[in-house]
A and B are shown apart, each in its own frame.
Chain A
Amino acid sequence: MNARAPESSRITSAESDSARVGDAVRRARQGDVGAFEIVYRAYAARMYALCRRMTGDDAQSRDLVQDVFVRAWERLTTFREQSAFGTWLYRLGVNVVLEQLRSRKRDDTRHTDAGEWIAGPGSMGDRLDARMDLDAALARLPAGARTVFLLHDIEGYSHDEIAQMTGIAPGTSRAQLWRARRALMGMLDA
Chain B
Amino acid sequence: MTDQTTHLTEDDRQSAADGTLPVERRADVEAHLADCDACAADVARITELMKRTRDAMLAPPSETASLDDLWSPIRARIEASKVVSLGTGARPSNSRPLISLIVGGIAAALLLTAVMLRVRPSEPRTSATAQATPDTSVLRAVSDSATAYEAEAQILLDRLEIQRATMRPEARAAIDRNLHTVDVAIAELKDAIARDPNNPALRQLLATSYRQKVELLKRANAS
Contact = CB atoms under 8 A, between A and B. Distances in A.
- Judge: A and B partners, yes or no: yes
Interface of A: 33, 36-37, 40-41, 44-46, 48-49, 52-53, 62-63, 65-66, 69-70, 73-74, 134, 138, 149-150, 152-154, 174, 177-178, 181, 184-185, 188-189
A43 B103 CA distance: 31
Nearest to A47: B67
Interface string B161-197: 0000000000000000000000000000000000000
Given A44-B70, A65-B67, A181-B46, A70 B78 contact: yes
B27 interface: no
Contact of A65 (B45, B70, B79): B70
Q: Interface extent on B, as a size class? A: 20 to 34
A153 B81 contact: no
Contacts of B78: 33, 36, 70, 73
Interface of B: 10-11, 14, 18, 45-46, 49-50, 52-54, 56-58, 60-61, 63-64, 67-68, 70-71, 73-75, 77-79, 81, 118, 120
Contacts of B45: 185, 189
A188 to B, nearest CB: 7
B74 A46 contact: no
B187 to A, nearest CB: 11
Contacts of A49: 61
Contacts of A134: 52-53, 56-57
A74 B58 CA distance: 28
A48 B14 contact: no
Contact of A74 (B46, B64, B81, B118): B81
18 contacts: A33-B78, A36-B78, A41-B71, A44-B70, A45-B67, A46-B61, A62-B67, A63-B118, A66-B118, A70-B74, A153-B54, A154-B54, A154-B58, A174-B11, A174-B14, A178-B14, A181-B14, A181-B49
Contacts of A41: 68, 71
A177 B14 contact: yes
A121 to B, nearest CB: 23
Contacts of A65: 67, 70
Contacts of A188: 49, 52
Given A37-B75, A70-B77, A153 B53 contact: yes
Contacts of A40: 71, 74
Nearest to B80: A70
Given A134-B57, A154-B57, A177-B14, A185 B49 contact: yes
